[in-house]
Structure 1
């Protein structure tokens, strides 16, 4: 029998690590972002994530339930900043819809491609289709609907039938997310160049 009152194995750390300044949960998210985008999601074990974050695997489960929770939070983090911007642009009717749509496209691309890891590439994982990622899909759907509303508010979009509006929305939204793959193949090109060129192209697709 062990001695009573000894330190419990896997006890969560009480303090932040001084070398990073991040909370344990944020350390895990940072480690997962790096490993998922370099090794691949399927090839990354929870042990590897925990070790990269500087903790034992058992300690990791005090902060997250596992890889799926980490992936879901990382995916949502790629959409929520764009959604916040989209809501603001949709509400600001002092500027023409065409200008607001262009700004949303530009900002969205910069947010998708501007981080240290190409997290947008994780959208393509087959695992993301599961119910566990319903939160990500809900946020993404709201963002896409904002694109639809801005396209409909433009001079070119105001007269479109629903089917044509939906098609143009799908094409514009697909273009924005597709830039992730283009940027991955040409990482040295400034993100601002991708962002502005994509915004220009998106407006042409929208008929502006």
Structure 2
């Protein structure tokens, strides 16, 4: 990353190590060594490993949450807005350099350093629910959660499928599947 700041290099190295080696197996010393800095320099940018992971996780949710807020300001049919959000969110998750979303299920994520991430992820889930409800299904809460889970399934696909389809294909396929989950009706 030739034009990256030290902070960006730390985040990138940590993302790679967390995604490939696991969170518990990655120390701040290893992150610093990977970047080519002293561990004390890493602590200048981040007080601990939890803060590094929290920032990485928030970066997987915040763009889609912002996009959902932008969509709510537009006068789009709910199904159109839902599909737009799904395709955007899938793009964020598959377009990231490292598959950091794979760490969503870590037990550590339930602790305080990750409260903001959990709150923002819940807000995104609620945005999906609201769009699904506006589209009309009687089971809006469940269907909204299904759509949210469908979007996040690309995290596992990145991990498990060696020949992942192109991002555009995934965006289109998952967007279409989300609309099908709405079922027949005004959607």
SS in 1 for 2:45: coil
Residue of structure 1 in register with 2:150 after alignment: 175
Where does residue 179 of structure 2 map in the other structure? 203
Distance in 2 separating the partners of 1:90 and 1:203: 18
Unaligned runs of 5+ in 1: 1-18
Q: Which of 147, 152, 176 matches 2:133?
A: 152
Are 1:172 and 1:206, in contact at CA under 8 Å, matched by a contact in 2? no
Superposition map of 1:19-98 within 5 A: 20-93=2-75, 95-98=76-79
With structure 2 as the length reference, what TM-score do the two structures score? 0.92
Q: How many residues align?
A: 183
Q: Deviations over 1:12-66 (max 9, x none)?
A: xxxxxxx722222111111101111111111111111011112101221111011
Question: Structure 2: where are the runs of 5+ without partners?
Answer: none
**TM-score normalised according to structure 1 size:** 0.83
How far does the alpha carbon of each residue in 1:144-167 deviate from its partner, in whole angstroms, 9 at most, with x for none? 11111111211x33xx3xxx2211
| Partner Cα distance (1:177, 1:55) in 2 | 34
Contact 1:37 1:119 in 2 (8 A): yes
1:140 corresponds in structure 2 to 121
Alpha-carbon distance in structure 2 between the residues aligned to 1:182 and 1:60? 32
- The structure whose residues are more often helix, as a share, is 2
CA displacement at 1:184 relative to structure 2: 2.4
